Chains A and B, each alone.
Chain A
Amino acid sequence: MAVVKFTLNGKAQSVDVEPRMPLLWILRDVLAMTGTKFGCGGGFCGACTVHINGSPVRSCQTLASGLNGKSVTTIEGLSADGMSHPVQRAWIEEDVPQCGYCQSGQIMTAAALVAKAPNPTDADIDEALHGNLCRCGTYQDIRRAVHTAARYRRAQIPADEKAQEKGVLA
């Protein structure tokens, strides 16, 4: 066992775990943060996607030993209220999820995409989300929702300011 210190959704976090334990299981079983999903354990499905220092990574392939000093964001930390991130808003607007199981991973990958590509093409979306499987087949809705999310994000800064003035965002 070894103590690992990192930042989780903006807060200091320390866990005492096996150095080889994947971040996925630290989140799910040690910290009871089950929004990040187990789909394959092999890096093939993207259900376990989180951000490390802003980039999307597969938490099932990220070992505890490499986490020290890193900043981890999970679906639970994407927005303060669980719905106001542009990608979450777009997912609600376009009603994307079916079973929903893959969606945390889809949303985390999409959030990283729209953060760096203000106006992604279908080809950009397909390339970024190629690693995220959805067995329910929500791909067409995902494409549409990423475009919507990008639009929300382009308009986000003034929208956020307006919202805060009215106290809508808690």
Chain B
Amino acid sequence: MIATQFIRVKKLNRRSFLQAGATAAGGLMLGFYLPEKSPLAAQTSSAAPAKLNAFVRIGADDSVTLMIHKSEMGQGTVTSLSMLLAEELECDWTKIRNEFPLVDPAYGAMMGAYGSLSIRTSWMPLRQAGAQAREMLISAAAQKWGVDKSQCRAENNNIVNTASNAKLSFGSLAEDAAKLPLPQVKLKDPSQYQLIGTSKKRLDTPAKVNGTATFGLDIKRPGMLYASLQRCPVFGGKVASFDATKAKSMPGVKNVVQISNGVAVVADNTWAAAEARKALTIQWDEGSRANTSSASLRQMFADLAEKPGANARKSGDAAAAMSGAAQKLEAVYEAPYLSHAPMEPLNCTAVVTDDSCEIWVGTQIQSVAQQTAAGITKLPPSKIAIHTEFLGGGFGRRGGADFIGEAVEIAKALKGTPVKLTWTREDDIQHDTYRPASYTKFAAGLDADGWPVALTGTVVCPSFGGLRNGVDSTGVEGIVTHTYDIPNQDIQYHPPDAGIPVSYWRSVGFSQNCYFMESFIDEMAAATKKDPVEFRRRLLSKDPKNSRYLNVLNVAAEKAGWGKPLPAGHYHGVGIVNNLGSFNAQVAEVSVNQGKVKVHRVVCAVDCGQIVNKAGVTQQIESGIVYGLSAALKIGITLDHGRVQQTNFNTYDPLRIDEMPVVEVYLVENHENPGGIGEAATPTIVPAVINAVFAATGKRVRSLPIKAESLA
């Protein structure tokens, strides 16, 4: 199976795609090669490419293979990281191959793709790796020619002798170069960039239009069996007892195993396992959360919001300023639990023997996957190989390792047999580690001219990032990080014990707090009928550190035609955010018809510092906006009797193509340090839409998703 895929991809790359390249793909081509062999398998091939450093391999055939140590979940990492390496290596962009390497300390203590950090943490090391490899090839060539290094330069997969015009190919030098020590290198000045800052097509597109890209769910190993796991419908519940007699008699069923999270049926195909699972009879010990409902949680959050919490941000004397204010506003904002629902359901393939464990998975954090497997198998990490496959979406969900642990537990029970665990969509929606629900009670004091002098807030949001002085930053980011000029502020925080598993969801705390904050700012502007853009401008203009912030606001307002006439029934709303080292402002144009909100157009101006791939940044902004729009308009998790009520994409129905607005992205270019981009745009779209809905209807939406009844 593996060999076939290899040949198939290779054939496509070498022949068909090369030929199609000129017409269909504009000359760009690349093969996505399978990861290097497991360290657990004997490696004897003498033709292995020379390893110049942890990131660069060069074969005698002149092939340049770049190790992509971050997961590709759609955010374009394979392409942007290749650009960083190739920029310095001076290799022929069209001959690059990529591999996802195994876990190695060379790729960082926490190898993975999370926190929109891939570019930020690769920016220096990958350019350095490319430059080192280039200098080593130059040194090898200089030695061969017996000339000084200064007489040689790298160009298009060759080292050129500038005196004689002689050339040696990378491939012919690689073996010698690999024996040299790692040199000190000087990186290019931005004025010399040839790839960085341009717009490149994705290297993984060809494999993703013909079914050959291998996702975790596509893995097949010799003798592999398929598992489906029944978990307790109530969070924290456990198996009390079960009867598998009927399930075991179903066609294709090979085994039934109990693991810590439930009871797994193992069969000879995915469907047979899932069908037989329905025939299990399980008595659950539902634990202490069986009476949880959305209403009971809301009450718990609301009660806490009346009590003093941990200090999350304090400046000036908010109480005094509030009592002296000419006008006081109060508002409670709420956001629901959200499932990530990546398009590819969670899955993991594992085989465990007495002295090894091998895993094929789409994971965001390979190091955590390895540690999880080590904990279950009691094997040292060196005996655990994590093969990274393409991820059919991550959004934070695949940073967790619950599904990996489950697969390893099942595989451990079936020693020596590879097992693929596949979650159903229902499993995914009902057993996520959710974006936490949040409840925030705000008050603002305005002076006689309508400018804010005090802001207070009590944030109630379940914690998962750990408490520091009683505060989980993931619960308050976006509220405590804004840079509006409000002299007196007092923000407090409570972590309620809600018993629902929660974790990172694209843009984390910003996903709800940017909505709360930017909508409440809009309420302040509306209180004295100030223009929302002008209001923000004034609150940002005092501190010169806000210049990038102000700039994106101005660009978005101008490009959207803020203040200019719109088609009848259309209204504008604005939102801005500074998250993960990037700034963006969005203007949404909406209409509301009998309570139904339609978003027509979204203009986003973004400043993410130095851009690596313009096309990639634009794609991620569009992607983030769609992800946020689903949360604003459509999706939410509710609970009853401790159970999630939504089941599949019928009841948890994200944005579809007919609801897609026109999105225009404007990039502010500069050479500031690169910021994160994968999560940048998700928070901002929510207040932009909600504020436009207010402009259209005069109704302030303070809980999500928008309900038509509340606007009719």
Contacts and interface: CB of A to CB of B under 8 A. Distances in A.
Q: Which 10 A-B pairs have the closest CB atoms?
A: A35-B211, A137-B626, A101-B392, A99-B74, A100-B208, A82-B210, A98-B74, A44-B649, A34-B218, A126-B658
A14 to B, nearest CB: 17
A130 B655 CA distance: 10
Given A34-B218, A88-B209, A137-B626, 12 more contacts: A38-B217, A38-B270, A82-B209, A89-B20, A91-B209, A95-B201, A99-B342, A99-B344, A102-B343, A126-B657, A134-B626, A136-B626
A101 B16 contact: no
Contact of B210 (A32, A39, A78): A78
Nearest to B202: A95
B662 interface: yes
Nearest to B210: A82
B208 A83 contact: no
A40 B73 CA distance: 19
Nearest to B392: A101
Contact of A104 (B202, B205, B211, B341): B211
Nearest to A107: B209
A6 to B, nearest CB: 18
A135 B202 contact: no
B654 A133 contact: yes
A102 B213 CA distance: 12
Q: Is the interface of B mostly helix, strand, loop or mixed?
A: loop
Contact of B649 (A20, A25, A45, A89): A45
24 contacts: A18-B272, A34-B211, A38-B345, A39-B343, A40-B649, A42-B425, A45-B649, A79-B210, A82-B206, A82-B209, A83-B20, A83-B206, A93-B24, A95-B202, A96-B205, A98-B74, A99-B390, A100-B207, A100-B392, A101-B342, A137-B626, A138-B623, A139-B655, A143-B660
A142 B656 CA distance: 12
Contacts of B270: 25, 28-29, 38
Given A45-B649, A134-B343, A136-B74, A97 B209 contact: yes
Interface in B556-584: none
Contacts of B12: 81-83
A39 B193 CA distance: 41
A75 interface: yes
Given A132-B657, A133-B656, A137-B655, A101 B20 contact: no
Contacts, number: 219
B341 A135 contact: yes
Given A97-B202, A97-B204, A130-B658, A36 B211 contact: yes
B94 interface: no
B515 to A, nearest CB: 18
B623 A40 contact: no
B663 interface: yes
Contact of B75 (A88, A98, A134): A98
B341 to A, nearest CB: 6
B619 interface: yes
Given A100-B208, A104-B211, A22 B343 contact: no
Q: Is the interface of A mostly helix, strand, loop or mixed?
A: loop
Contacts of B215: 34, 37, 100-101
A42 B648 contact: yes
Interface in B321-369: 341-345
Contacts of A131: 656
Interface string B213-227: 111011010000010
Interface string B584-628: 000000000000000000000000000000010001001111110
Contacts of B15: 170
Interface in B644-672: 648-650, 653-658, 660, 662-663
B251 interface: yes
B16 A75 contact: no
B391 interface: yes
A76 B657 contact: no
Interface in B236-285: 251-252, 269-272, 274-275
Given A29-B270, A39-B343, A97-B202, A127 B210 contact: no
A30 B269 contact: yes
A20 B392 CA distance: 27
B16 A81 contact: yes
A101 to B, nearest CB: 3
Interface in A66-85: 74-76, 78-79, 81-84
A41 interface: yes
B25 interface: yes
Contacts of B73: 99
Contact of A75 (B210, B390, B425): B210
B208 A82 contact: no
Nearest to B251: A18
B170 interface: no
Contacts of B226: 29
B511 to A, nearest CB: 15
B438 interface: no
B271 A29 contact: yes
A1 interface: yes
Interface in B61-109: 72-76
A133 B343 contact: yes
Contacts of B655: 137, 139
A135 B16 contact: no
A83 B660 CA distance: 27
A125 interface: yes
B105 to A, nearest CB: 28
Given A44-B650, A74-B211, A99-B393, A135 B342 contact: yes
Contacts of A84: 20, 24
Contacts of B627: 135, 137
Nearest to A88: B209
Contacts of B274: 41
B395 interface: yes
A114 interface: no
A95 B76 CA distance: 11
B657 A82 contact: no
Nearest to B619: A98
A92 interface: yes
Contacts of A170: 15-16
Contacts of B74: 97-100, 136
Contacts of B656: 130-131, 133, 139
A120 B101 CA distance: 43
A143 B663 CA distance: 12
B343 A91 contact: no
A17 to B, nearest CB: 9
A133 B649 contact: yes
A168 interface: yes
Contact of B269 (A25, A99, A142, A143): A25
Nearest to A81: B16
Interface in B1-45: 1, 12, 15-17, 19-20, 23-26
Contacts of B341: 135
A97 B208 contact: yes
A102 B626 CA distance: 15
A101 B251 contact: no
B425 A81 contact: no
Given A96-B205, A133-B343, A40 B425 contact: yes
B700 to A, nearest CB: 27
Contact of B391 (A41, A81, A99, A138): A99
A21 interface: yes
Given A47-B343, A82-B210, A129 B657 contact: yes
A92 B395 CA distance: 24
A89 B213 CA distance: 16
Nearest to B19: A168
A99 B212 CA distance: 13
Contacts of B211: 33-36, 74-76, 82, 104
B424 interface: yes
B422 interface: yes
Nearest to A1: B251
Nearest to A98: B74
